[in-house]
Structure 1
Amino acid sequence: MQSLDEQPPEGLIYAAKPWTATSIAAVAALDEPPPGLDYLLEVELAHDVLEVWSSWRDGAPPTAAEKCEAVIHYAEHDAYLDVRH
């Protein structure tokens, strides 16, 4: 997730399951999914997830691990990662 800012907003994030901070991941178009990777989330939505994460934590920037955790949580639960988590 460290290079998320460098990805096109219309891109889709794909990652190897089980999704973890160390999963192989790639950004590609809908009609070009990388072999062996599963759809995780849209790049634009991942940006939204991280903005909400930060705003719920008084503007604190997430670490790389926290970025991954927040995006994976949203992808799996269709919900933002609660502050108490």
Structure 2
Amino acid sequence: MNKTAIALLALLASSASLAATPWQKITQPVPGSAQSIGSFSNGCIVGADTLPIQSEHYQVMRTDQRRYFGHPDLVMFIQRLSSQVSNLGMGTV
């Protein structure tokens, strides 16, 4: 019975941490000119571009968290870098 109670508590604790946050409900960037607001740990971005999820040169991880938006310069940098790495035969970024 002790093991069952511990397993149940672990399951309940993990399901609470997997619940969607309000930020995960955002499905697209907020329109406007690109600008960062706030700090690294407590900020957001307006006018972000979406990094395409499918690419032959890079891999987007944890797409369920919808954290593949970024400053247009960052998105272009990732695409350019991953293409250059691929052209050099170094694999996928």
Using the size of structure 1 for normalisation, the TM-score is: 0.34
Bigger fraction of residues in helix? 2
Greater gyration radius: 2
